[in-house]
Homo-oligomer: A and B are copies of this chain.
C-alpha cells in the first residue's frame, strides 16, 4: 500500500473511532464523587493516588490525606504538598510499618485514630477529595472492621471523592467502589539487586 493510501485509510479509521467515542461520551452524564481503589502487588498504588491528589490541588480543590501506614513517601510528596498549604489537610497516624513496630495494640489504636480522622474529613463540607493511604493494609490485618468501614462509606456525601490504596483490598470494598485499578508487577529492579533510590522510590 502507498503512503497516500495508508494516510487515507488512517483518516477514515480515526474518523469512525472518533464518532464511536463521541457517541459513548454523550451517554455519560452522571457527576458524582467516586470511591476509587488502587490495589495489587505492583508499584504505583500510592504514587497514582498522589498523582490524583496533585491534579486535584492544581484544579483548586481541597484535599485531605490520611496516612495509615508510615512509608517512605513523606520526603518528596510532603514537600510538594507544602506548596498548597491552604488546600491540604494531612494526618499521619502510623508509627512505622507493622513489621517495624511489632506492637499490635499500638497499631490497632493508631488505625482506629486514623479512621476517626478519615471519617471527619469525609463528612465535612470543606474537602473535595480524601486519600486513605494504605488503609487496605490495616483492613487486611483486621485492625478496622470492614463491615463498619463499608457501612460508613455508603453514607459519604454525594460529591466527595475517596481514594483508598494498599494491596489485598477486601472484596466488600471492591464491591462498593466505582473505580478499581489493580497494579500488577511485570518486572521489578529489586530482583536484579537495584536498591530503593531517592526521588524514585521515596
Write out the residue numbers on chain B whose beta carbons fall within 8 Å of the beta carbon of A181: 42-44, 183-186
**A47 in contact with B43 (CB, 8 Å):** no
A185-B71 Cα distance, complex, nearest whole Å: 25
Copies in the complex: 2
**B102 in contact with A18 (CB, 8 Å):** yes
Range, interface on chain A: 35 or more
Taken residue by residue from 98 to 131, chain A's Cβ proximity to chain B (1 for < 8 Å, 0 otherwise) reads as 1111111100000000000000000000001100
**A6 in contact with B102 (CB, 8 Å):** no
Q: Do A178 and B187 form a contact, CB below 8 Å, given A15-B102, A34-B200, A195-B31? A: yes
Write out the residue numbers on chain B whose beta carbons fall within 8 Å of the beta carbon of A29: 193, 195
A51-B54 Cα distance, complex, nearest whole Å: 8
